[in-house]
Amino acid sequence: MLKIFQLSAILEGISYLLLFSFSMPLKYWANITEPNVYIGYVHGFLFIAYMILALVFSMERKIAPKKIVMLVLASLLPFGTFYLDEKYLKPLAIS
């Protein structure tokens, strides 16, 4: 479950960055909306998958409510899921 959750965190983070650094500027500065639609759909799917996996992962590992809040907040901040993976998830994989 840890590996799947790590993968979802990384993919969600990448889609979030693509949305804000690539497709949103195209939409608002160049009036090109198509990439925003597709990247938005992918990001939406990955965000929902990340949230579901965060819930399943936290129930499986019996994670404290404060850390569950951290899992949710990581998905809302740019680079948050990368930080979460490096700081909290990779050490779990080693131990």
Which pair of structure tokens corresponds to residue 24?
């949103």
Q: Which of 5, 1, 95, 18 is nearest to 50 (CA)?
A: 5
Q: Domain residues of the chain, as ranges? A: 2-94
Residue 6 to residue 66: CA distance in whole angstroms? 19
- Which residue type does 14 have? I
pLDDT on residue 95: 61
Other CB atoms within 10 A of residue 51 CB: 15
Which pLDDT tens digits describe the chain residue by residue (95 residues)?
Answer: 888 988 999 999 999 999 999 999 999 999 998 988 999 999 999 999 999 999 999 999 898 888 889 888 998 988 988 888 888 888 877 76
Q: pTM of the full predicted structure?
A: 0.86
**Residue at token pair 């994670």:** 63
